[in-house]
Chain A
Amino acid sequence: MIRYAKPKNVDEALALLSDGPWRILAGGTDFYPALGNRPLSENVLDINGLSELRGIAEVGSHIVVGARTTWTDIIRRDLPAAFDGLKLAAREVGSVQIQNRASIAGNLCNASPAADGVPPLLTLGAEVELRSASLTRHLPLEDFILGNRRTALQPGEMVTAIRIPKSATAGTSAFVKLGARRYLVISIAMAAARIVVEDGIVAEAAVAVGSCSLVAKRLTGLEAALRGLPIGPALAETVAATSLPELAPIDDVRGTAEYRREAAREIVTRAVLAASGHHPLTKVAA
């Protein structure tokens, strides 16, 4: 007999979670497609009653995005330019209907290599707030998503928020998605970049790529290479010349590994240039 529960507050939810295995249900937009034609077989913990988990607020040194915050919430919220990449990604998640329902934490917990939200959150140094009845812990996003459909979520835990350190909200950001259709498409590859420019020089660079490895990755070597460069053609030249060992793409229905490797470098270039305010081609052709 499967159970369904809809707690009214987080403590109640955590108490239930400590009590046995549950499938946490927020927007449901990954839940049903994953179910396919099979009937429900897991206990369902519906967190849609947890109003405290929805919304974006400044808390101390962090900007805290509640786990249930939808992509539409993010698109509509006035946020610093460092969030532009996240907003662009938000507009590419599924469709408007899905953006209205799907939550930011669901995108992370689903741990798809093609999750559009992950690369921009990586460039924002996001960390995941995990709570259980007995413990609250914060994990860097890199350490939260472990593999295809695998996370560091422990039994009894749930994601309650995504926290972005204010120190990582300087500069401007961009996001470039590559798909085989103009919309309503799962990414072949996507790139996010956040660049802080001081006196015409890259003071800080954060670049991440998704769909080109089991888990979306920050390109730390490239970031180091970009730091200190003047805004201009040197950026593209550096992207072209730097090895990107983080990328380990595979062949699938959407594209070949070889194509992904080549295209990823191109969209990284575009994301970096767009984030540095320097390139007209942020929107790709198709």
Chain B
Amino acid sequence: MSSEIAFPSPQHRRHGSSAGQPLTRRDGVLKVTGRATYAADNHPEGMLYAVTAVSSIARGRVTALDVEAAKAHPGVVEVLTPANRPPLSHDPDDKIPPFGFRVEVLQDDTVRYVNQPIALVIAETLEAATEGAALLNPQYEVESARTGLENGERFDTPAVGVGAPSRTAYGDIDAGLAAAVRVTEADYVTPPQYHNAMEPHAVVAQWDGDRVTLDMPNQALALSCAAYAAYFGIPAGNVLIRSPFLGGGFGSKAILNGPQILAILAARMLDRPVKLALTRAQMYGPVGHRGQTWQKLRLGTDGEGRLTALHHHVLAATSSFDEFMEPAANASLPLYASPAILAEHDGLRLDTGTPGPMRAPGEASGSAVLEVAMDEAAIACGMDPLEFRLANYAETEPGTGKPFSSKSLRECYAEGAKRFGWSGRPLEPRRMRDENGFLVGWGMGTAVFHCPHFPAEARATLRADGTALVETAGADMGQGAWTALAQIAAEALGLDPDQVELHSGISSLPDGGIAGGSGHTASAGLALHNAGVDAIARLAELATADPASPLFGAGNIGVEARSGRLHRRDDEGRSESYSEILARAGQAEVVGTAKAARDPAVAEAHALFSHGAVFAEVKVDPDLGQVRVTRLVGAFAAGRIINPRLVRSQYFGGMIWGISFALQEEAVTDRRTGRIMNADLAEYHVPVNADVPSLDAILIPEDDPYVNPLGVKGVGEIGITGTVGAIANAVWHATGVRVRHFPIRLEDLLVNQRDVTSAFGN
């Protein structure tokens, strides 16, 4: 019956709906009053505190721990070490697909990186646990740390990132290079970076028989439940994760980590709730980071500045015991037209914690370098960088020839360049100065990000009072998911968002997929949309089958849901409110459910990407090398925009991450010991407000009829791509100095003290 009811397309329903309108953030009141509860705010009765003791060496063995001293400290309840750690039901050295990592949970006495947990001290108070951990006084057998290119262990890897191919070849790269008039070739380095979400990782674990409740920030509720269930030998349904708020995640809260598993284990062992919160310093190790890369780019160009070959080789660092590597070279696959493209990766094992996905994993480091290389190639061809990119514009996906589901990159280039004032840019570097004598430079970069779609489920309940409850286990780590998802659901339900209550952030709800890969709004959103459509269909069945309804018999014609009423499609005047329909049917509610996933045929037939263009202005103090980004203009096309203010915030956030990638962020490792010398927020620099320039993010309208029925792409990560290269290229344009490592440091740019006459064209 419901299949016969015709529903208007999403485009139609946009009228009079809230989607596309900037609503106040739903979580705002709780956040501005401090009442939003983050994991560490929970304090169940009888709770114990756990503190991890962590290794201070990068490689070797723990030979002794003074467990007696720790246990003798007043308040200490238990000390977990490899000697007494209760068994787990799943081998921690065996990965759980699809996003599983090997975890360090005291399975033996080996030390594989600095800050690895080597014991867990559980006590009645945080002070006692902290003191107990300090009393352990570990002794080590130290092996020399592998910390860089010179002593890391190279290996071939079949996959990078999360199951992405490590080598992709289109065309004949050697032939392409041989056919080139010019080959621009250079080596680049990107540093290790740490997510540093403001909220440190925390968990409060409480067991009740074989059921466990976990208060923890989590970006992937259903997957995490399944993984914890495996470790603890219980059904996934017995794991309840509550993650109503995340104080930022950026990828680091999508992956299970050793300290949290140990705290959950301790709670079961002691049969009391246990809280564990990492310190800032302890976040530099067991909870992932963006791994270091060494990249080589070779760009062959013909006489007209068209690419004949694009070769991107990446040596990507990972840990000694796991395999996650930045899929950086793959950033060169979807963007520029070239008859030959080769993207390939090798691995380098270092004594560090395992890297993991960090905002735009792969794309960020790969695009940073690709966009600099493109700038270098443009200069070699004597072309304006934008003109050069347009000359290599990919009308279809390079290599595969697939059409893009939508691609408005030309519009992004045009609008961005116009807003920025790019057309006045001199080709040569060091031609612009401001009134204070600072060197001024302009640079640009292309932004690109793929559009993943995670399977998700949702439930929508229309209630007798005409309001709705919609539910999906999603995650809001600051991006505004609660608001945008409620808008999507409200639209499907023909209600005002104020009439829609959204429940999310708890794993007992229908699986909301993963808040990552910039795919959450599309994935959870489509599930909510479909659930809303299902609920309306069921409601319509009630109405059209009821002789007392003005909609009786409209089944074949169809009804439209708008402003809390169903309207007959062919007769606006005939309508009935949801409450009236439910009341007459004697039903308290009608429930719609849905599962949503990407139609494999869509991905088979189309290349699915968001695009953008970023233009940067920097000012460089020629005597001190200090760089200030003074203007950033980004123009992005990411399909349909649900909430422009939230989206603009995401673009700004990504662009500012681009600034800090280009100029600030770097974990500096002591080459001898493997220790990170700036494992804090004082010397690991993330931008403070004074570092942030005037920002402009242009939302380029884009209709995508294919990517998913909502037409929504992703916006969370694309801002960082393009921006890094744009800034580095602007620095070159200001100074004539081509810096090929990130971050660009002050000492790279003491322009007045150096001879840079050879700067132009390398």
- A-side residues, CB < 8 A to B, are 33, 36-39, 178, 180-186, 188, 253-256, 258-259, 262-263, 266-267, 280-281, 284-286
The distance from the CB of A251 to the nearest CB of chain B, in whole angstroms, is: 10
Per-residue contact bits, chain B 436-471, to A (CB 8 Å; 1 contact, 0 not): 111000000000000000000000000000000000
Q: Give CA–CA (A39, B53) in the complex, Å.
A: 13
User: Is B687 among interface residues, defined by CB-CB distance under 8 A?
Assistant: yes
User: Is B715 among interface residues, defined by CB-CB distance under 8 A?
Assistant: no
**Smallest CB gap from B743: residue in A:** A180
Cβ contact within 8 Å between B134 and A255: no
Q: Give CA–CA (A158, B668) in the complex, Å.
A: 37
Cβ contact within 8 Å between B626 and A285: yes
Q: Give CA–CA (A188, B690) in the complex, Å.
A: 18
Cβ contact within 8 Å between A180 and B623: no
User: Is B490 among interface residues, defined by CB-CB distance under 8 A?
Assistant: no
Q: Give CA–CA (A185, B5) in the complex, Å.
A: 63
Q: For residue B436, which residues in chain A have a CB less than 8 angstroms away from its CB?
A: 280-281, 285
Cβ contact within 8 Å between B130 and A181: no
Per-residue contact bits, chain B 419-439, to A (CB 8 Å; 1 contact, 0 not): 000000000000000001110
Q: Give CA–CA (A255, B15) in the complex, Å.
A: 57
Cβ contact within 8 Å between B664 and A262: no
The distance from the CB of B761 to the nearest CB of chain A, in whole angstroms, is: 26
Residues facing A in B735-755 (CB within 8 A) are 745-747, 750, 753
Q: Give CA–CA (A267, B664) in the complex, Å.
A: 21
Residues facing A in B655-707 (CB within 8 A) are 664, 668, 677-678, 682-683, 685, 687-691
Residues facing A in B270-321 (CB within 8 A) are 279, 281-282
Cβ contact within 8 Å between B624 and A178: yes
Q: For residue B551, which residues in chain A have a CB less than 8 angstroms away from its CB?
A: none
The 9 closest A-B pairs by CB, nearest first: A286-B626, A259-B747, A182-B690, A285-B621, A39-B131, A266-B623, A285-B626, A183-B690, A286-B628
User: Is B370 among interface residues, defined by CB-CB distance under 8 A?
Assistant: no
Q: For residue B668, which residues in chain A have a CB less than 8 angstroms away from its CB?
A: 253
Given contacts A37-B281, A259-B746, contact A181 B626 (CB under 8 A): no
The distance from the CB of A94 to the nearest CB of chain B, in whole angstroms, is: 9
Cβ contact within 8 Å between B683 and A253: yes
Q: For residue B747, which residues in chain A have a CB less than 8 angstroms away from its CB?
A: 255-256, 258-259
The distance from the CB of A229 to the nearest CB of chain B, in whole angstroms, is: 21
- B-side residues, CB < 8 A to A, are 127, 130-131, 133-134, 279, 281-282, 436-438, 619-621, 623-628, 664, 668, 677-678, 682-683, 685, 687-691, 745-747, 750, 753
Q: Give CA–CA (A93, B697) in the complex, Å.
A: 34
Select which of A259, A262, A281 is within 8 A of B437 by beta carbon.
Answer: A281
Select which of A38, A188, A256 is within 8 A of B134 by beta carbon.
Answer: A38
Q: Give CA–CA (A183, B687) in the complex, Å.
A: 9
Q: For residue B282, which residues in chain A have a CB less than 8 angstroms away from its CB?
A: 37
Further contacts, 7 of them, CB under 8 A, given A183-B688, A185-B685, A254-B683: A183-B689, A186-B682, A259-B747, A267-B624, A285-B627, A286-B627, A286-B691
- Name, among A33, A178, A184, A280, the residue most crowded by chain B CB atoms within 10 Å (CB to CB): A184
Cβ contact within 8 Å between A263 and B746: yes
The distance from the CB of A181 to the nearest CB of chain B, in whole angstroms, is: 5
Cβ contact within 8 Å between B750 and A263: yes
Q: For residue B623, which residues in chain A have a CB less than 8 angstroms away from its CB?
A: 263, 266
The distance from the CB of A130 to the nearest CB of chain B, in whole angstroms, is: 30
The distance from the CB of A9 to the nearest CB of chain B, in whole angstroms, is: 31
The distance from the CB of A174 to the nearest CB of chain B, in whole angstroms, is: 16
Q: Give CA–CA (A93, B577) in the complex, Å.
A: 63
Q: For residue B664, which residues in chain A have a CB less than 8 angstroms away from its CB?
A: 180-181
Q: Give CA–CA (A280, B434) in the complex, Å.
A: 13
Q: For residue B678, which residues in chain A have a CB less than 8 angstroms away from its CB?
A: 253
Given contacts A180-B685, A182-B688, contact A259 B677 (CB under 8 A): no
Q: For residue B683, which residues in chain A have a CB less than 8 angstroms away from its CB?
A: 186, 253-254
22 A-B contact pairs sorted by A residue (CB < 8 Å)? A37-B133, A37-B134, A38-B130, A38-B134, A178-B746, A180-B745, A181-B687, A181-B691, A182-B690, A183-B690, A186-B682, A253-B668, A253-B683, A255-B745, A255-B746, A258-B747, A259-B746, A267-B624, A281-B437, A285-B619, A285-B627, A286-B746
Q: Give CA–CA (A184, B687) in the complex, Å.
A: 10
Q: Give CA–CA (A17, B438) in the complex, Å.
A: 53
**Smallest CB gap from B619: residue in A:** A285
**Smallest CB gap from A257: residue in B:** B747
Q: For residue A185, which residues in chain B have a CB less than 8 angstroms away from its CB?
A: 685
Q: Give CA–CA (A239, B682) in the complex, Å.
A: 32
- Name, among A36, A258, A280, A285, the residue most crowded by chain B CB atoms within 10 Å (CB to CB): A285
Cβ contact within 8 Å between A181 and B688: yes
- Name, among B682, B746, B750, the residue most crowded by chain A CB atoms within 10 Å (CB to CB): B746
Given contacts A184-B688, A259-B746, A263-B750, contact A284 B624 (CB under 8 A): yes
Cβ contact within 8 Å between B134 and A39: yes
Select which of B130, B628, B753 is within 8 A of A39 by beta carbon.
Answer: B130
Q: Give CA–CA (A253, B281) in the complex, Å.
A: 16
- Name, among A37, A256, A262, the residue most crowded by chain B CB atoms within 10 Å (CB to CB): A37
Q: Give CA–CA (A283, B142) in the complex, Å.
A: 47
The distance from the CB of B42 to the nearest CB of chain A, in whole angstroms, is: 22
The distance from the CB of A278 to the nearest CB of chain B, in whole angstroms, is: 15
The distance from the CB of A91 to the nearest CB of chain B, in whole angstroms, is: 12
Q: Give CA–CA (A33, B279) in the complex, Å.
A: 12
Q: Give CA–CA (A280, B688) in the complex, Å.
A: 25
**Smallest CB gap from B678: residue in A:** A253
Given contacts A180-B664, A181-B691, A285-B626, contact A36 B281 (CB under 8 A): yes
- Name, among B127, B627, B687, B691, the residue most crowded by chain A CB atoms within 10 Å (CB to CB): B691
Cβ contact within 8 Å between A266 and B279: no
Cβ contact within 8 Å between B281 and A284: no
The distance from the CB of B284 to the nearest CB of chain A, in whole angstroms, is: 13
Q: Give CA–CA (A281, B282) in the complex, Å.
A: 41
**Smallest CB gap from B687: residue in A:** A181
The distance from the CB of B749 to the nearest CB of chain A, in whole angstroms, is: 10
**Smallest CB gap from B438: residue in A:** A285
Q: For residue B690, which residues in chain A have a CB less than 8 angstroms away from its CB?
A: 182-183
Q: Give CA–CA (A37, B52) in the complex, Å.
A: 11
Select which of B127, B620, B685, B689 is within 8 A of A285 by beta carbon.
Answer: B620
Cβ contact within 8 Å between B624 and A266: yes
Cβ contact within 8 Å between B621 and A284: yes
Q: For residue A33, which residues in chain B have a CB less than 8 angstroms away from its CB?
A: 682
Q: Give CA–CA (A36, B668) in the complex, Å.
A: 19
The distance from the CB of B236 to the nearest CB of chain A, in whole angstroms, is: 35
The distance from the CB of A112 to the nearest CB of chain B, in whole angstroms, is: 12
The distance from the CB of B627 to the nearest CB of chain A, in whole angstroms, is: 6
Q: For residue B746, which residues in chain A have a CB less than 8 angstroms away from its CB?
A: 178, 180, 188, 255, 259, 263, 286
Cβ contact within 8 Å between A181 and B127: no
Q: Give CA–CA (A182, B678) in the complex, Å.
A: 18
Cβ contact within 8 Å between B624 and A37: no
Q: Give CA–CA (A277, B151) in the complex, Å.
A: 54
Cβ contact within 8 Å between A39 and B688: no
The distance from the CB of B623 to the nearest CB of chain A, in whole angstroms, is: 4
- Name, among B624, B668, B685, B691, the residue most crowded by chain A CB atoms within 10 Å (CB to CB): B624
**Smallest CB gap from B620: residue in A:** A285
Q: Give CA–CA (A259, B745) in the complex, Å.
A: 10
Q: Give CA–CA (A263, B438) in the complex, Å.
A: 15
The distance from the CB of B620 to the nearest CB of chain A, in whole angstroms, is: 7
**Smallest CB gap from B748: residue in A:** A259
Q: For residue B688, which residues in chain A have a CB less than 8 angstroms away from its CB?
A: 181-184
Q: Give CA–CA (A186, B688) in the complex, Å.
A: 13
Q: Give CA–CA (A155, B84) in the complex, Å.
A: 46
Given contacts A183-B688, A188-B746, contact A259 B625 (CB under 8 A): yes
The distance from the CB of A45 to the nearest CB of chain B, in whole angstroms, is: 20
